[in-house]
Structure 1
Amino acid sequence: MQRFLKIYKMSSEKLQKLDEDIARLDKIIRKTESFTNNEYDYPEMNKDQATGGTQTEKELSNPVKIGKVDKIIMENKKLREQINKLETTVAVLNSTAASKENNLHTVLKSQKELERALAKKVTELKHIITESEKYKDSAFGRIAFLEQTCEKLMRKITVQNDELAAVKEKYSQLKKKIFGTEKKNNKLKELHKNDEEETKTHDAKVKVNDKSTSKVEMVNKEVQVQGIFDDYCYDNIIANLFFLPSPPSSPVSSRCTWK
């Protein structure tokens, strides 16, 4: 940016100097043209009333004057060529300066926009810094509180880890006890199964014995009944023989009659 401004300043100074040179040369040309027009190109306008001729006609006879006029005319042509070159240069410089000026305006406009954006960002940052400073103390307090909470949680976790280790130990012991109890239960189940098999065998034997015993008892009962029946019939026969009254009616009396 500074380099661009420096170039623009140098171009402006150069243009100003060229304008001064052009003005100076134009002044010389005008003076020369005035001299040639009045004393060389238009001799009829410079009548000398005293001598009856023109001033130019008198000077034409003077070779020194003629040489000076020719020299001035040649210089005038050279100066005109220089002026044309300078005018061309000035036009180019003016175009370049205009382009540079436009570029400069564009750059300045962009710079102003950047400055505004930067100022806006600075304002936002100041606001953020202000808000941060407001909540800084509370943030530090919150951090301290969180650190204390973390320490408490770490202590609690340590205690819980110890309790968990104790629970694991108890679980291991209980597992061992349960394993031992399962072994005992399996043994008891085997013993109970053997007892059931023995009981079934014993019950089967008892049933067989009961059947045989009941048969014997039935035989004995039949024998006893038959004996009673025989005794009753014998008594009834004796009574009939001796004409005794018949014993009271009984289920057996109908079967034991004398024929």
Structure 2
Amino acid sequence: MKTPVENTTSVLKSYYCKETHSTNALLWEMSRLSTLEEGFIVRTDFQTAGKGQIGNSWESEAGKNLLFSMILYPLRVSVENQFLLSQIVSLGIKKALDEYTDGITIKWPNDIYWNEKKLVGILIENSLQGNKIKSAVIGIGLNVNQKTFVSNAPNPVSLLQITGKRQNRKALLDKIHRNIMELYAELNLSEIRTSYAEALYRKDGFHTYSTETETFQARIISVHSDGQLELETKLGERKGFYFKEVRFQ
């Protein structure tokens, strides 16, 4: 178990509410009413309609975890390269969590895992302007101090369960925000893509995958700039998949 380094200063600009329907939805509403500073965060202790990718729900006990959304204005990122935002956010979160424990990986496209269990879910919603991303709202649910999970989610885990210690949610939020904003400001494409590839869940060896029509053994070759996962089967056949087209088994 690691001892995290506490961040004693923060320039985090945020809005807190005890309960809301969805931090992503609330942040979009706020952004329509006024211009928010880039990196601005909406955080809450409980979401009544929290959601994950493609409408999946996100279980979170009130007051135990990190539930927040942040806004960016990535006009310098083209629509074709929008997966870069997913990589930046994933890497920023992983870097923060690496201070608390070993075994943190990024499960393509952007779930954060500890060994074989899911620790963080990410939902990115973009508003487009031509071939540019006018604004992006990034929703993050991170299991921090929850002791037990009662939903039918297959493999959740919290930092408390991993480390055996309650963690300071605000300190962790500061670390994540700082890491994301630093990577976003630098926007070093080759470094981001290399770091993402090195951090991938099950990046080595052959593993089982499935689609709607088949189950097969394959290894990860690469993740392309548009987010496509390239796999190679044991027979040497290469296949490309976008999000929700293939599942880890």
TM bucket (normalised to shorter chain) is: under 0.3
Higher CA-based Rg: 1
